[in-house]
Amino acid sequence: MSDSKRFSGKVAVVTGAAGNIGLATALRLAREGARIALMDVDEGKLAATLPKFEALDAEARTYPFDVTDPGAVSRAIGEVVQAFGGIDLLFNNAGYQGAFTPIQDYPEDDFERVLKINLCGAFYVLKACARQMMTQGGGAIVNTASMAGIGGPPNMLGYASSKFGIVGLTQTASKDLAPHKIRVNAISPGLMGPGFMWDRQVELQAKAGSQYFSSDPKEVAQQMIGSVPMRRYGDIEEIPGVVSFLLSDDASYLTGVNIPISGGIL
Ligand SMILES: NC(=O)c1ccc[n+]([C@@H]2O[C@H](COP(=O)([O-])OP(=O)(O)OC[C@H]3O[C@@H](n4cnc5c(N)ncnc54)[C@H](O)[C@@H]3O)[C@@H](O)[C@H]2O)c1
Contact 37, 92 (CB under 8 A): no
- pLDDT 10s digits, 208-231: 999 999 999 999 999 999 999 999
- pLDDT 10s digits, 156-166: 999 999 999 99
Q: Tell me if 201 is assigned to some domain.
A: no
- pLDDT 10s digits, 96-139: 999 999 999 999 999 999 999 999 999 999 999 999 999 999 99
Hey, is 224 helix, strand or coil?
helix
Contact 119, 169 (CB under 8 A): yes
Would residue 159 show up in a list of annotated catalytic residues for this protein? yes
Q: Tell me if 1 is assigned to some domain.
A: no
Contact 120, 221 (CB under 8 A): no
Closest atom of ligand 1 to CA, residue 118: 41
pLDDT at 257: 98
Closest atom of ligand 1 to CA, residue 24: 16
**Threshold 0.95, pTM exceeds:** yes
- pLDDT 10s digits, 41-53: 999 999 999 999 9
Report how far ligand 1's centroid is from the alpha carbon of 253 (Å). 28
pLDDT at 197: 82
Q: Tell me if 242 is assigned to some domain.
A: yes
pLDDT at 194: 85
Q: Tell me if 203 is assigned to some domain.
A: no
Q: Ligand 1 pocket test: which of 41, 112, 233 has the largest number of ligand atoms within 8 Å of its C-beta?
A: 41
Determine which residue's CA is closest to atom 5 belonging to ligand 1. 189
Q: Tell me if 100 is assigned to some domain.
A: yes
Domains contained in the chain, number? 1
pLDDT at 4: 87
Report percent pLDDT > 90 for the chain.
96
Q: Tell me if 219 is assigned to some domain.
A: no
Q: Tell me if 205 is assigned to some domain.
A: no
| Residue 173 domain boundaries | 11-192+235-261
Which residue intervals of 16-137 are DSSP H helices? 20-31, 43-47, 50-55, 70-84, 108-114, 121-136
Q: Ligand 1 pocket test: which of 15, 93, 123, 199 has the largest number of ligand atoms within 8 Å of its C-beta?
A: 93
3 pLDDT above the threshold of 60:
no
Q: Tell me if 4 is assigned to some domain.
A: no
Residue 41 sits in a domain of what CATH number?
Answer: 3.40.50.720
Report how far ligand 1's centroid is from the alpha carbon of 192 (Å). 12
